[in-house]
Amino acid sequence: MRHVISLLLENESGALSRVSGLFSARGYNIESLTVAATEDPSLSRMTIVSIGSDDIIEQITKQLNKLVEVVKVVDLSEAGHIERELMLVKLRATGKDREELKRLADIFRGRIVDVTDSTYVVEMTGDPAKLDAFVEAVDSALILETVRTGVAGIGRGDRILKV
């Protein structure tokens, strides 16, 4: 099962490596990991996407909680939540492809943020499946490079992760 784990941790050097070290040392899987400081600069917020059985996810959350710098851990996928990821895609855009790619980007509510006579850079946000779908929809020969941030997640409504 795919889980989205969100945590607040002390914004200190080394905290990220404690988390990533934990995953590699115990053989847990990381699909993606994003981290940045929060509105309170002493805290970082991290979103980890991991795939594992319920037992493993339970161990992951317990082990994360055990890290001294981790303040709070929540498995967002236990209830309603929103996931968003940012992707930048550089596409070869020449001839009739230019119009087609523009139309496709519009359909996916992407924005073209850089244009040359032969390339576009498309910026797109959404849940990971939507980004996958866009990549699928574009002729693979036209994709020059892609870069994705990994998922950032937040709970819906009253689910608040705060100190």
Closest CA to 153 of 135, 136, 131, 128: 128
Distance (Å, whole) CA 2 – CA 94: 39
Site membership for another protein, residue 106 (CB under 8 A) = no
2, 37, 62, 99: which one binds another protein (CB under 8 A): 62
33, 71, 154, 161: which one binds another protein (CB under 8 A): 71
**Closest CB 67 distance from another protein, rounded Å:** 8
Distance (Å, whole) CA 51 – CA 27: 12
Closer to another protein at the Cβ: 65 or 94? Answer: 65
Site membership for another protein, residue 160 (CB under 8 A) = no
Any idea what DSSP says for residue 96? T
41, 68, 117, 129: which one binds another protein (CB under 8 A): 68
Q: What is the CA radius of gyration of the chain?
A: 18
**Closest CB 148 distance from another protein, rounded Å:** 28
Closest CA to 6 of 149, 132, 160: 160
Q: Which residue carries 């981290």 as its tokens?
A: 35
Q: How many CB atoms lie within 10 A of CB 160?
A: 8
Closer to another protein at the Cβ: 69 or 100? Answer: 69
Which residues of the shown chain bind another protein in the complex (CB under 8 A)? 9-10, 14, 17-18, 21, 25, 55, 58-59, 62-63, 65-66, 68-71, 163
